[in-house]
Chains A and B, each alone.
Chain A
Amino acid sequence: MTLSAQSLDAGPRPLRARLAARRVPLSILALCLLPWILPSEALAVNVLVYGLVAVGYNLLFGYTGLLSFGHAAFFGTGAYVTGIAIGRFDVPWFAALALGVAAGGALAFVIGLLSIRTRGIYFSMVTLALSQLVYYIALQASSWTGGENGLRGFTVSELNLFGWTVDFLDPVKKYYVIMVFAAAALWFVSRILNSPFGSVIEAIRENETRARACGYDVERTKLISFTLSGLICALAGTLFALHLAIVPLDILHYHTSGMIVMMTLLGGAGSFFGPFVGAFAFLLMEDVVSLWTPHWQIVVGSVFILFVLFLPKGIWGTLMAWRAGR
C-alpha cells in the first residue's frame, strides 16, 4: 500500500528507506504500546487525540507549508457536532462520528475557500479570525452548545456495532477502540503523502511559483490539502468528544490552535510520525511536571524554547536527520 518510487530499484535498499516504507505499521505498533508507557490511559488517549490533530495539521503546515492558526475550529466542530448528535438526537455513535467528521470537513472547505488566496502572515490571520468566529458562535448558541459551561449529557458508556458490544468506560478498551480510528487516519495520511498529490503539495511548499509554472493548479491543491487536514482534525475532535464525554468551550479557543502548532513544531513539522511524538512529549511533560510543582509552565516553556533554539526540526525530525546523516 505504501509503494514508492524506490521499490522500482532492484537493489537492496538502505534500512532507512525500508523503515520509511513500513511507516504505517511501525507507527501503529508504537501507538499500541503507548498506554503501557504513559502513567495513565486517560493521558494515552489524549496523546492519541492530540497526536491525530497534529498529524492533520502537519499535512497543511509541514507538507503544504501553510501556517494556519485556526485549526481549533475543525477540532472543536467535530467534537461539538458529535456531542450534539448523540445528546440531542440520539444518533448512534458511529453515525455521530461520521457527522462530526463531515461537518468539520465542510467547515474546513468553507474556511479554506475564504483564506487560501492569502499568503504568509495574512493567511495565518484570516484563519485565526475565522476560527474565532466559530468560537463566538459556540459561545452565543448556548442552547445548543451549552455555551460557557460546555456541552454535556452525551456519555457513551458502551459501543454497539454489528452485534458487538464494547465497554467504553473501561480505559484500556477505550484506548484501543480510539486507536483503530487513529490508525486508519494514519494510513490515510500516508496514502495521501505517497500519491502524486502528496508530491504536488510538497512541491508547492518548496517553490510555489515553480509548481505553478509546471502547470499545477496551486489554489485548488491548497484547498484540497486544507480540507483534508480539516477532516483529520475533525475526526480527532469526534474522538475527543467520545473520550471525555464533554466538549469544553476552550476546545475552540485560539489557545488550542496555538497548542496544535506547538505540538507539531516540538515533534517535527514535515515528518510523518513527528506530530505524535510532539503531542506525546508535550502532554507527558505537562502531566508529570505539574504533579510536582505548580510552576510547571516555567519548565515546559523553557524546554520549548530550548527546542526552538537548538532543535528547530523538532524531536522526531532531528532524530531522522541524524540517522540520515550517518
Chain B
Amino acid sequence: MMSSKQGKSGASRRDVLAGLSAGTALLAMPWVARAQGETIRIGFPTPLTGPFAAEAKDQVKSAELAVKLVNDKGGIAGRKVELLVRDDKLNAGEAATRTLELIEKDKVHAVVGALSSAVQLAVNEVTRARGVIYVSISQSDTINEVKDFSRFTFHEALNPHMTTAAVAKHTFKQGTKVAYLVADYAYGHEMLRGFKRAEAALGATGVGEILHPFGAADYSTFMPRLRSMRPDILCICNFGRDQANAIKQAVDFGMKQQMQIVVPVLLHNQRLAIGPEAFEGVIGGANYYWGLEEAIPSAKAFNDAFRAANGGAVPTDYGAYGFTGVYSLLLAMEKAGGTDTDKVIAALEELQYDIAKGPQHYRKCDHQSVQSVLVLESKKKADMGSEADFFRVVATEPASESILRSCSELGLPA
C-alpha cells in the first residue's frame, strides 16, 4: 500500500534514500517535467467500522463516484484523481493519526470526510496546523465558530442550526407544545440548542427535555415521562441506531396517536432498517433525498450515475455528502488549474455549484455550504411507489444565508 511517489516537499526518512540515489536522480530529470502530471490525491477518513459504518460506506461509494466522473472527463488539468480511503474507527485520536499519515506519508493534496462532530474537529485541527484543505461532511455547529475556524476548512454538510431551523419552521406553530428526547452528546446538544432557538422565534413552548445516553437500547423508561408532559410534538434528537430504536419504542408506546414525532435528520438507512410502519408519519430534515430527481436535473444526473455504478441502488442522504464534498472540491481544483492551496481556497470561496441538489455555495466568512434543507415525511407502506420510495418532500427550505447564524454571531468578520 505504500506510495512510492516522490513528494514535492517535506523532510522524511526518504531523505536517506534520496542521498543514496542522488546520482540516479540526475538521470531521472524527465520526471521533473512530468511533475505536472502527478496524480491528485484526496484523503478520505471515514468510520468504516463502528455504529455509523452503514453511512460511512455510502459516503465512500458516492465519493468514489465523484472521482470516477472527473477521471472519465480526463481528470483535472490532465492529472488523474485518486481517493485514499482510511478507516477512522469513529475515534478522534485514530482520525488524527490517519490524517497525519495521509498528509505526511501519502502527501495528499486535500482531505475530505469524517462522520462525527468530535472526529471532524480533530481532522480540522491537524489540517489547520499544516495548511491542508479539508472539506468536512458531517453535521457540526462548532466547526463554523471562530475558535475552530480554519481558512483551509470548508463545511459541506448541513449544520444543526440550519437543519433545526428548517424543520421547526415547517412543524412548530404558535403555541405548539414540544417535548425533547435528546442523545447526551455533542450532536444531540447542538440539535436541541437549535430547536430551542427556533421554538422561541416561532412562539412554541418547550414542555420538557430528557437526556438519554449515547447508544442506549432501551427507551421505555422515558416514554411515560414524555407522555405526561402532554406535548403536541415529540422531538427526538439522536442519530443512527439510536434514532431507529427510539422511534420504534415510541410507536410501541402508542405515542404517535397523541403527538407528532419530529426528528432533526430523518435517516434513510434507519428507515430502511426498521421499515415503514414505525416510521410512518415521522417528519425530519435531510440534506438529500433521491426523490428530488423529479424536480431537479442535477439530482437526476447524480442518481443515474450512482445507479449505473452501484447496480441500481439509489444514493442516501449521508452518502450524498461524500459526492458533493469531493465533487465541489474537484470543481474548485479545476477552476484553480491544479492543487495550489491558496488558489483552490479562492476558487472554493467563489464557487457556485449545482451537482446534486440545486444551487450551493460556500459562505465566505465561515466556509459553510449554503444549501437547501429538505423537510421529509416518512410514507405509509401503501403509498410507496417503489422499494426505496421512503419519503414525501413536505417542503424545501431554499438555499439562503437567512437560516444560518450571522458571521458576527459566530465571531467572524462578515
**Which of B36-44, B86-94, B325-333 faces chain A?**
B86-94
For residue A42, CB closer than 8 A to chain B, the reply is yes
Closest to B129 in A: A155
B49-66 CB contact bits vs A (8 Å, 1 = yes)?
A: 100010000000000000
In angstroms, Cα B101 to Cα A240, docked, is 16
Interface size bracket, B side: 35 or more
Q: Is there contact, CB below 8 Å, between B49 and A150?
A: no
Q: Is there contact, CB below 8 Å, between B87 and A150?
A: no
Q: List residues 18-64 of chain A with CB under 8 A from any CB of chain B.
A: 35-36, 39-43, 46
In angstroms, Cα B98 to Cα A46, docked, is 11
| B116 CB, nearest partner CB in chain A, Å | 9
Q: List residues 1-31 of chain B with CB under 8 A from any CB of chain A.
A: 1-2, 10-13
For residue A291, CB closer than 8 A to chain B, the reply is yes
Q: Is there contact, CB below 8 Å, between A248 and B12?
A: no
| B127 CB, nearest partner CB in chain A, Å | 11
**Which of B117-125, B228-236, B287-295 faces chain A?**
B117-125
With a cutoff of 8 Å between Cβ atoms, the chain A residues found around residue B147 in the complex are 152-153
For residue A95, CB closer than 8 A to chain B, the reply is no
Which residue from B1, B49, B186 sits with its C-beta under 8 Å from A296? B49
Q: List residues 101-139 of chain B with CB under 8 A from any CB of chain A.
A: 101, 104-105, 117-118, 121-122, 124-126, 128-130
In angstroms, Cα B1 to Cα A292, docked, is 9
Q: Is there contact, CB below 8 Å, between B91 and A244?
A: no
In angstroms, Cα B100 to Cα A148, docked, is 22
A143-170 CB contact bits vs B (8 Å, 1 = yes)?
A: 0000111101101010000000000011
Which residue from A35, A36, A46, A172 sits with its C-beta under 8 Å from B97? A46
Closest to B90 in A: A250
A-B pair number, CB within 8 angstroms: 108
| A280 CB, nearest partner CB in chain B, Å | 15
Q: Is there contact, CB below 8 Å, between B100 and A171?
A: yes
For residue A246, CB closer than 8 A to chain B, the reply is yes
Closest to B10 in A: A170
Q: Is there contact, CB below 8 Å, between B121 and A152?
A: yes
Q: Is there contact, CB below 8 Å, between B186 and A172?
A: no
Q: Is there contact, CB below 8 Å, between A245 and B12?
A: no
For residue A251, CB closer than 8 A to chain B, the reply is yes
With a cutoff of 8 Å between Cβ atoms, the chain A residues found around residue B125 in the complex are 152-153, 155, 245-246
In angstroms, Cα B105 to Cα A245, docked, is 18
Given contacts A35-B13, A40-B101, A42-B104, contact A157 B129 (CB under 8 A): yes
Which residue from A43, A246, A296 sits with its C-beta under 8 Å from B101? A43
What would 13 more interface pairs be, CB under 8 Å, given A152-B121, A157-B129, A169-B130? Answer: A35-B13, A40-B105, A149-B121, A171-B12, A244-B122, A246-B122, A246-B126, A248-B91, A249-B118, A250-B93, A251-B93, A290-B86, A294-B87
Which B residues are closer than 8 A to A by beta carbons? 1-2, 10-13, 48-49, 53, 86-87, 89, 91-93, 96-98, 100-101, 104-105, 117-118, 121-122, 124-126, 128-130, 142, 147-148, 185-186, 189
28 contacts between A and B (CB under 8 A): A36-B13, A39-B101, A40-B104, A42-B100, A42-B105, A43-B101, A148-B186, A153-B125, A153-B148, A155-B125, A157-B129, A169-B130, A171-B100, A172-B13, A244-B100, A244-B126, A245-B125, A245-B126, A246-B92, A246-B93, A246-B126, A248-B93, A250-B91, A291-B86, A292-B1, A294-B48, A294-B49, A294-B53
A-B residue pairs, 10 tightest by C-beta: A248-B92, A42-B100, A148-B186, A40-B105, A244-B96, A148-B185, A294-B48, A40-B101, A155-B129, A246-B122
